Amino acid sequence: MTVLPITIWGEPVLHRRAAEVDVFDDELRTLIADMFETNDAANGVGLAAPQVGVGKRLFVYKYENDDGAPPTGVVVNPVLTLSKVSGALPDPDEDEEGCLSFPGGQYPLKRAEWARVQGFDGDGKPVEFEATGWFARVIQHEYDHLDGKLYVNRLVDRYARKAMKQAKRSGWGVPGLTWMPGVDPDPFGH
């Protein structure tokens, strides 16, 4: 298994819809194993293929949950069903989110409290589970990556302005920027 570099906001693969996976083979399983390794090295709770430069519809997660889902898993070609998202403003203490592809930034964002995900594992076998609370947030966050969205694209105006200032200060928004988990400093201080 190999730790892969993580793409940073501005890399084109992060901003376009990922392609469906149509072949379940050793190459896909190697990518999945490398994504688990990379997620662990980055102290992440989830990682989508576009975040490692691969425009395919799959993500891995590692999150202890009370929903009966495995604490680690992969979902290939996911379909997501959500409960309604509250129209209330996000709580800065309860709704703060971060992203390995927007390293170091954490901003409040409202998400649905419940999600059902359906898809496949790395062998093409069906996967289906429900997620609530923070686990639902993790699943929504990773799914967004497959549609070319980062959580900062969903922020309310005042937090979106702060995020864009962070991106500008950091020199992001251009292709070719990555960081290497286990080599570069952990942007979230784990």
Which residues sit in the known binding site for Fe cation?
99, 141, 145
Q: Has 142 been annotated as catalytic?
A: yes
Is 96 within 8 Å of 108 (Cβ atoms)?
yes
Is 78 within 8 Å of 118 (Cβ atoms)?
yes
Q: What is the 3-state secondary structure (H, E, C) of 10-29?
A: CCHHHHCCCECCCCCCHHHH
For the chain, how many residues are written? 190
Binding residues: 99, 141, 145
Beta bridge partners of 179: 6
Whole-angstrom Cα distance, residue 60 to residue 182? 18
Whole-angstrom Cα distance, residue 11 to residue 93? 30
- The residues annotated as belonging to the active site are 142
